[in-house]
Structure 1
Amino acid sequence: MSGGVVAGLVAGYGIAVPVGAVGTYLVGLAARTSWRVGACAALGVASADGVYALLAVGGGSALAPLIEPLARPLQALSAVVLLALAALGAVRAVTAYRRRQGPGAARGDAVRPVRAYFGLLGVTLMNPVTVLYFAALVLGGQGTTTATPWDKAGFVAAAFAASASWQLLLAAGGTLLARTLTTPTARLTTALVSSAVIAALALHLAAG
C-alpha cells in the first residue's frame, strides 16, 4: 500500500469521525426516511471531502491564503443552513405525529436520494475548514508521500473511501435506529432530540 493511500485513509477518517452537526443530521435523515436516502446523503458528504482533498493536493499552498478570509462567512452560512434543516426536521416530525403516522411514515417521497446527495454535498462544501485541514496535512507532513501523480490520486481516493465508509456507517446506524422505534411517540422524541442537537452544534459553529 502506497504512502499516499495510507495518508489519505488517515486524513479521511480524521476529518470524518468527529460527529458534528452534519453527521447528526445524516443519522436523523436516515432514521426518518430510508437506507437509500441516507446512503446517498452519506456519499454527498464523502464527495465534498474528496473534492477538498483533491483541491489540497492540487494546490494547497495557493488555496490556503485565498480560503482563509472566506472561512468565517462560510462558517456562518453553514450554521444558518443547519439551523434551517433542524427546524424543518422538527416541523416534519410534529406534523407526522399529529397525523398519527410517526416521523418514519412521513418519509414517502419528501426527500429523494438525489436531493439528499446534493443537499449534504452543498452543506459540507460550505465548511472551508475541511480544505484547510487537508492542505495542512499535505503541506505540513504528507507532502513527501504525495509527490507523484499516482500518490496524489491514491491520497484523494483513499480520503474519499475513508469518509464514505464512515458516513455510510452513520446512515446505517440511523436506519437501524428507525427500526427499533416502534411507536409514534418514540419517533417524535428522537426526531426532536436530533433537531435540538443539530441546532446546538450549529450555534456552536456560528459562535466559533
Structure 2
Amino acid sequence: MNESMEAGMEQYLTAGAAGAVAGLGVAVPLGAVGVLVLQQAMRDRRAGAAAGAAVAVVDAGYAALATAVGPLVAAALAGVEAWVRLVAALVLAVIAALGLLASRRPAPAGTTGTAGTETAAPARVFVRFAALTFVNPTTALYFAALTTAQGDTLRGGAAGAVFTFGVFAASLLWQQTLVVAGGFAGPRLPDRARVWTFRAGYGLVAGYAVTVALPLPAL
C-alpha cells in the first residue's frame, strides 16, 4: 500500500514538474503577447496583472485540452493547418492595426496612463488578452505536441490535472514578473518613449501575424 502511494505521489510530482517546465517553455520566450503584457503594466499595473492572468488562464486551458484530446485535434487538423494559421494571422493583424491606430489618438483630458492610450478596465483587458492568446496557434500546437509525446502518462485523470495546474502556476508567475517589471519601468519613462514602446509592441504583433501566416495555403 505504501509503495503504491509513493508511486502515485511520484507520478503527480513528475506531472506537476513537467507542467511547470511546459508553462515556462511557452511563456518565457518574450514574443508579441509578452511585450504587450509589459506595455499594459507600464500603462496601469492592475490592468497589467489582469492581462498576465488572462495569458496564464488560456495557457492552462490549452494544456487541459491537449491532455484530453491533443492527439485527436492534431489528427483532425491534418491537411488544413495552413488555413488555421491564416485565420489566426488575420485576427492578429486586426489587433495590431487597432492598437497602432489607438496609439495615434491623444489621451482624453483627465485620464491617467500612457500618452496616446486610455487606461482600460482590468476586466476588458483580461478579455482582450485572453482572446489574443487564444488565437495564437503556436500555443495550441505546442501543448498538443508535448502531450502527444508524453503518451498516456498525462492524458486525463489526476496526473493531467496536476500537469495543467503546473502549467498555470508557472505561466502566471512569469507573466506577473513581467507586470512587476513593466510597472517599475512605466512611471520612469517619458510619455513619448512610452508611446513608441506601445507602437513597437503592436508592430511586433503585426510581424508575428506575417510569420504565422507563412507559408500561405495552396489554393
Give, in whole Å, the separation in 2 of the partners of 1:69 and 1:121: 27
Look up the SS of the partner of 2:41 in the other structure: helix
Does 1:44 find its partner at 2:44?
no
Structure 1 gaps of 5+ residues are none
- Aligned partner of 2:103 among 93, 99, 107: 93
- Aligned partner of 2:208 among 196, 201, 206: 201
- Aligned partner of 2:188 among 173, 176, 180: 180
Offset, 1:164: 1.3
After TM superposition, the score normalised by the length of structure 1 is 0.83
Structure 1 residues 40 and 98 mapped into 2: Cα distance closer, same or farther (>3 Å)? closer
Structure 1 residues 206 and 171 mapped into 2: Cα distance closer, same or farther (>3 Å)? farther
Taking the TM superposition and a 5 Å limit, the aligned residue runs for 1:62-81 are: 62-69=72-79, 71-81=81-91
CA contact (8 A) 1:86 1:198 kept: yes
Look up the SS of the partner of 1:96 in the other structure: coil
Does 1:53 find its partner at 2:63?
yes
Instruction: Please give the per-residue CA displacement for 1:120-168, whole angstroms capped at 9, x wherever unaligned.
Output: 112222233323322322221x336436722211101001111111122
Percent identity (aligned): 33
Rg larger in structure = 2
Give, in whole Å, the separation in 2 of the partners of 1:136 and 1:202: 21
Look up the SS of the partner of 2:30 in the other structure: coil
Offset, 1:54: 0.7
Structure 2 gaps of 5+ residues are 1-9
Give, in whole Å, the separation in 2 of the partners of 1:193 and 1:148: 41
Give, in whole Å, the separation in 1 of the partners of 2:113 and 2:105: 8
Aligned to 2:42: 31
Amino acid at match of 1:167: Q
Aligned to 1:135: 144
Instruction: Please give the per-residue CA displacement for 1:106-125, whole angstroms capped at 9, x wherever unaligned.
Output: 555x5221111121112222
Give, in whole Å, the separation in 1 of the partners of 2:210 and 2:171: 24
Does 1:22 find its partner at 2:33?
yes
Offset, 1:21: 1.7
Give, in whole Å, the separation in 1 of the partners of 2:82 and 2:73: 16
Does 1:153 find its partner at 2:164?
no
Give, in whole Å, the separation in 2 of the partners of 1:175 and 1:190: 14
Offset, 1:41: 1.3
Give, in whole Å, the separation in 2 of the partners of 1:147 and 1:188: 45
Structure 1 residues 63 and 189 mapped into 2: Cα distance closer, same or farther (>3 Å)? closer
Amino acid at match of 1:150: A
- Aligned partner of 1:168 among 168, 173, 176: 176
Q: Which moved more, 1:67-76 or 1:155-164?
A: 67-76
Look up the SS of the partner of 1:60 in the other structure: helix
After TM superposition, the score normalised by the length of structure 2 is 0.79
Instruction: Compare the two structures and name the one with the higher helix fraction.
Output: 1
Instruction: Please give the per-residue CA displacement for 1:63-114, whole angstroms capped at 9, x wherever unaligned.
Output: 2212345543332233233333333333333322797x89615555x52211
Q: Which moved more, 1:187-196 or 1:9-18?
A: 187-196
